[in-house]
Structure 1
Amino acid sequence: MFKRLNSIRFSHIRSHFYALFLTTVILLSFLLSIYVLFTPQWLTVESIFLFITTYVVVALVLALYVGFKSSGDMKERLDYFSVLITQFANGNYQSRLYFNEDDEIARIGNELNELGKKMQDQVKSLQRMADAKADLAKSAHKAAVIEERQRLARDLHDSVSQQLFGVTMMAEASLKQIDKNPVIAKEQLENVAASALQAQTEMRALLLHLRPVHLSGDPLPTGLKKLIEELKQKSTLNFKVEIDEAIKLPETTEEHVFRIIQESLSNILRHAEANEVKVKLSMRSNELFIHIADNGQGFHVDEDSNRKTSYGLKTMKERSEELGGTFTIRSVQGEGTYIDIRIPC
């Protein structure tokens, strides 16, 4: 209630009340001065009181009405500013304000329009730079392949290789316990099965990175559907997919988006322990909207110390920003992870 009284509309009305108060004081002082100094017959205390009372009542109603009406236009124009700034914050730099008036507020609106145009030009410049970088990326493909192989080799050594070594050790221990203590042997074999399943999941995630960086000539919707169909066959994940078939993007943008989603699915396979994944791509007001969600174990985004997960998230964020987009991630332990990406087109 008190917060609303501090709004621009009520501030405007209060200024009218203040002017009414000052005018009333001046009129009352003037009439009383005439009454005391000259004591005219036509001016009495009753007439002064009646006049001031009538004036205050009428002026109070008029001040309230005029203040409310005159502040309405200003409030509406300020609300336009708020909506425009919100649009800019969401990456919609094509929004504009148009005022018929020629005053300070209209001048601020024009300046915001210029700011939006500059931000839109900056996004286009970033996308042109991304297109220019595509040629450089293709020429550096061989070096990238070598680096990727080295990274996969490290990951294989750090994860799958150690897990398989542990499976081997537990299997040998189980063989020794089969005749002596079948119960212990059964528990160890269950651990062997769990470790083997984990190693298999880790291997599938690593194999996902061996897919070609490019879409091999396929449109983005087709390439993503092929990727998800492959994962359906090789994992236990249940996918809910909504992809707009009419999505058409520049080649470089498609490759970046494909790699972002590929990295996200790889992280889900390796770390989320999820059984359901939702992937949604759609066009909204000249921007590409990407939503990826899982029902896995989740994590603390700010406190996560898993270097591999952090590296993947950092890569996805950098790719999104290279296209002039925004990257948002929300995660709650025990409830899953949600990624929203908006890319201007």
Structure 2
Amino acid sequence: MLQKLSSIRYMYIRSHLYAVFLTTVILLSLLLTVYVLISPDWLSAFGIFIFILLYCLIGVVISFYAGFKTGGEMKERLDYLSGLITQFANGNYHSKIYFNENDEITRIGNEMNELGGKLQNQVKSLQRMADEKADFAKSAHKAAVIEERQRLARDLHDAVSQQLFAITMMSEASLRQLEIDPAVAKEQLQDVAESALKAQTEMRALLLHLRPVHLSGEPLRTGIKKLIDELMEKTAMGFNVVIDDELDLSDTVEEHVFRIIQEALSNTLRHSKATDVTIEASVRSKELFVHISDNGAGFNVKEDTGRKTSYGLKTMRERTEELGGTFAIRSTKGEGTYIDLRIPC
């Protein structure tokens, strides 16, 4: 109630009532002065009382009407400004506001429109810089691939190749001992099996290291589908994926969004103990909306982000902000986690 009385409408009403009060005091002082000093026949104490009473009643009514009407118009214009600021906060920098009046609020509205244009240009600059960064990353990726191939060749030679050579030698020795001393041959075959298992483990580790973590030129929808299909083969988790059939996004935006979804799913698999995950992606009003949620254990966003998931959340937020978007996360212990992205297209 007190907050409502402090609104701009009631501020105008109070200012009008204050003006009525001051005018009443001045009129009463003048009339009493004339009555005491001159005492004209047409002026009496009763007449002064009736005049002041009627003036107060009419003044109060007019004050409420004028204050409410004028304050309502001003409140409506300020609400427009507040709505525009909210749009800017949500990343809708193309929103505009126009007033017909030629006053300070109109000037503020025009300045807000200019600010929105500048923010929109900054978003384009950020996305252009992200594209350039992606081009540099591709060049660096080529050099890294060559270096990684050399490293893998060394690892294969030092680990797997040596183990396979040892397996070959022990197998040949076992064959020679098979007829002479079967017990020794059995022990040697056990060593062969252990060495083969170590070689297999080493090879799996190398293949896991070679697993691609990017779209490789595929559309976002296809990349997410492949990622989900792979996870469904390895986990019992259920997935609900809803993605627009035609997402007209740049390669940089698709790459960043794919990595964000991949990081979110990684956190879900490692920490949430969830059984169902929902992924939604759509474009509305020149913005890409991405929603990721699970029904897992959840966590306290303010307290727990400094531990297990802080790095992943920081990476997702940075990738979103690189595209000029907004990143929001909501989570409560026992009620799952919800991640929402808004990225200008």
Fold in common (TM above 0.5): yes
Give the structure 2 partner of residue 71 of structure 1: 71
Give the structure 2 partner of residue 211 of structure 1: 212
Would you say the 8 A contact 1:9–1:68 is kept in 2?
yes
Residue 19 of structure 2 is aligned to residue 11 of structure 1 = no
Give the structure 2 partner of residue 80 of structure 1: 80
Query: Residue 283 of structure 1 aligns to a residue in which SS?
Result: strand
Deviation at 1:306, TM superposition (A): 7.3
| Structure 2 counterparts to residues 39-188 of structure 1, below 5 A | 39-142=39-142
Deviation at 1:97, TM superposition (A): 1.0
Distance in 1 (CA, whole Å) between partners of 2:35 and 2:29 is 10
Distance in 2 (CA, whole Å) between partners of 1:272 and 1:140 is 34
Amino acid of the residue matched to residue 228 of structure 1? I
Distance in 1 (CA, whole Å) between partners of 2:98 and 2:335 is 45
Distance in 2 (CA, whole Å) between partners of 1:311 and 1:142 is 26
Distance in 1 (CA, whole Å) between partners of 2:81 and 2:113 is 10
Distance in 2 (CA, whole Å) between partners of 1:109 and 1:243 is 37
Give the structure 1 partner of residue 271 of structure 2: 271
CA shift digits 1:277-306 (9 cap, x unpaired): 011111122111111111122223333377
Would you say the 8 A contact 1:208–1:262 is kept in 2?
no
Amino acid of the residue matched to residue 20 of structure 1? V
Inter-CA distance 118–208: structure 2 relative to 1 (3 Å threshold): farther
Amino acid of the residue matched to residue 326 of structure 1? T
Give the structure 2 partner of residue 280 of structure 1: 280
Would you say the 8 A contact 1:327–1:339 is kept in 2?
yes
Distance in 2 (CA, whole Å) between partners of 1:275 and 1:257 is 23
Residue 20 of structure 2 is aligned to residue 20 of structure 1 = yes
CA shift digits 1:172-222 (9 cap, x unpaired): xxxxxxxxxxxxxxxxxxxxxxxxxxxxxxx99x95992341x23332122
Amino acid of the residue matched to residue 42 of structure 2? W
Would you say the 8 A contact 2:213–2:259 is kept in 1?
no
Amino acid of the residue matched to residue 293 of structure 1? S
Percent identical pairs in the alignment equals 65
Query: Residue 302 of structure 1 aligns to a residue in which SS?
Result: helix
Amino acid of the residue matched to residue 210 of structure 1? R
Amino acid of the residue matched to residue 57 of structure 2? V
Distance in 2 (CA, whole Å) between partners of 1:208 and 1:112 is 50
Query: Residue 309 of structure 2 aligns to a residue in which SS?
Result: helix
Query: Residue 28 of structure 2 aligns to a residue in which SS?
Result: helix
CA shift digits 1:66-90 (9 cap, x unpaired): 1111111111000011111111111
Residue 269 of structure 2 is aligned to residue 259 of structure 1 = no
Rg larger for: 2
Amino acid of the residue matched to residue 6 of structure 1? S
Deviation at 1:142, TM superposition (A): 4.2
Deviation at 1:238, TM superposition (A): 0.4
Amino acid of the residue matched to residue 248 of structure 1? D
Give the structure 1 partner of residue 224 of structure 2: 224
Would you say the 8 A contact 2:289–2:342 is kept in 1?
yes
Q: How many residues align?
A: 290
Would you say the 8 A contact 1:238–1:277 is kept in 2?
yes
Distance in 1 (CA, whole Å) between partners of 2:90 and 2:210 is 31
For structure 1, the 5+ residue unaligned runs are 151-202
CA shift digits 1:286-327 (9 cap, x unpaired): 111111111122223333377663222221111111101111
Would you say the 8 A contact 1:239–1:278 is kept in 2?
yes
Inter-CA distance 287–235: structure 2 relative to 1 (3 Å threshold): same
Deviation at 1:26, TM superposition (A): 0.9
CA shift digits 1:15-37 (9 cap, x unpaired): 00000001111111111111111
Distance in 1 (CA, whole Å) between partners of 2:240 and 2:7 is 46
For structure 2, the 5+ residue unaligned runs are 152-203
Amino acid of the residue matched to residue 336 of structure 2? G
Amino acid of the residue matched to residue 244 of structure 2? D
Give the structure 2 partner of residue 324 of structure 1: 324
CA shift digits 1:52-75 (9 cap, x unpaired): 111111121111111111111111
Amino acid of the residue matched to residue 301 of structure 1? V
Amino acid of the residue matched to residue 297 of structure 1? A
Distance in 2 (CA, whole Å) between partners of 1:328 and 1:13 is 41
Amino acid of the residue matched to residue 35 of structure 1? Y
Deviation at 1:51, TM superposition (A): 1.1
Report the aligned-residue RMSD: 2.4
Inter-CA distance 52–309: structure 2 relative to 1 (3 Å threshold): closer
CA shift digits 1:132-186 (9 cap, x unpaired): 1111000111465678xx9xxxxxxxxxxxxxxxxxxxxxxxxxxxxxxxxxxxx
